[in-house]
Amino acid sequence: MSKITIDTNTSRAHPNPAPGKRMTVPKIRSMKRGEGIAMEPLVMLTAYTTRMAQLIDRHCDMILVGDSLGNVIYGLDSTVPVTLDMMIAHGAAVVRGSWHAQVTVDMPFGSYEQSPEQAFASASRILKETGASAVKLEGGEAMAETIHFLNSRGVPVIGHVGLTPQAINVLGSYRARGRDDAEADKVMKDAKAVADAGAFCLVIEGVMEDIATDITRSVPIPTIGIGASAECDGQVLVTEDMLGLFERVPRFVKKYHDLADQISAAVEEYANEVRSNSFPREEQMYRPKT
């Protein structure tokens, strides 16, 4: 008699086991570094397409489907015009292309600010239609009630304080925040309010280094820095920025490659071969078998 072994790691939806286990919200929340805690910093990058998710997934703890797709994919001047439908379409593509990293989708401007109820309607659509496990929203004390409302109803939330790009029309510029005592105090209060409201993680963007360090040491949840501090519990960058696909990037970006030049050179070579009739060659064409 043959013995049948049931793999309890699979489900009806996925009868074949994945290469590994996906990072979960509770796992991310537990990765708060501190005195006596030898925890590696969290690695987060953005992705907007299935293919990019496939390429970065195994290296990341978290993938953010950021509303920065408005700038990177659609050529918009700011993230303000990004829609909920855009975020859902790209979020679903990224989830399909990943199996390891925890995936969070940004809530776009206008989809959550009106009321906690509006935020829940938008967030529930995101989770249902993308398969992501969390949403991210911008704002501090003003959004605390909404974060608590979402969290208590089964929607994990990542907060975002400091430089909040969706508020560019109020801020007036993308300069670093916290340059004076009043502004520094506000960023700190915003961070604590978000943590107290139940966010499981906190993005700190574009703030003076000492403020980001103080926040990281003051809140009980992991902090993810972008133009913040090396003392944050993790770091995030826009993937296309760090790959060198754009000439102009924020000061806090390190270019780890120069893909723009490589792509341009490859396209130039292709164009030259087409114009000289040296492409396609025999190996790229279909001919009858002899």
Give the CATH number for residue 89. 3.20.20.60
Catalytic residue, from 35, 145, 205, 273: name it: 205
* 106 among annotated binding-site residues: yes
Supply the DSSP string of the chain, one letter for each residue. -PPP---TT--SS--SPPSSPPP-HHHHHT---BTTB--PPEEEEE--SHHHHHHHGGG-SEEEE-TTHHHHTT--SSSTT--HHHHHHHHHHHHHT-SSSEEEEEPPTTSSSS-HHHHHHHHHHHHHHH--SEEE--BSGGGHHHHHHHHTTT--EEEEEES-GGGHHHH-S-PPB--SHHHHHHHHHHHHHHHHHT-SEEEEESB-HHHHHHHHHH-SS-EEEESS-TTSSEEEE-HHHHTT--S---TT------HHHHHHHHHHHHHHHHHTT-SS-GGGS-----
- The domain tally of the chain equals 1
Residue 238 domain flag: yes
Sites in the chain below the pLDDT cut of 70: 1-17, 35-38, 174
pTM, two decimals, is 0.92
Residue 116, pLDDT score: 98
Residue 275 domain flag: no
**Beta carbons of 225 and 211 less than 8 angstroms apart:** no
Residue 35 domain flag: yes
* 68 among annotated binding-site residues: yes
Pairing of strands 62-65, 157-162: unpaired
* 136 among annotated binding-site residues: yes
Pairing of strands 102-106, 62-65: parallel
* 138 among annotated binding-site residues: yes
Could you tell me how many residues make up the chain?
Answer: 290
| Residue 276 buriedness (CB in 10 A; 0-12 / 13-18 / 19+) | exposed
The whole domain housing 32 covers 25-258
Residue 37, pLDDT score: 56
Residue 277 domain flag: no
Instruction: Look up 205 and say whether it is catalytic.
Output: yes
Residue 235 domain flag: yes
Residue 80 domain flag: yes
Q: Using alpha carbons, list the distances in angstroms from residue 156 to 47, 117, 162, 190.
A: 19, 15, 20, 18
Residue 76, pLDDT score: 97
Residue 13 domain flag: no
Residue 38, pLDDT score: 56
User: Cβ–Cβ contacts within 10 Å for residue 243, how many?
Assistant: 20
Residue 130 domain flag: yes
* 61 among annotated binding-site residues: no
The single residue listed with the structure tokens 């949403």 is 135
134 phi, psi to nearest 5 deg? -160, 165
Residue 9, pLDDT score: 63
> Can you tell me the distance from the alpha carbon of 46 to that of 69, in angstroms, rounded to the nearest whole number?
9
Q: How far apart are the first and last CA of the chain?
A: 52
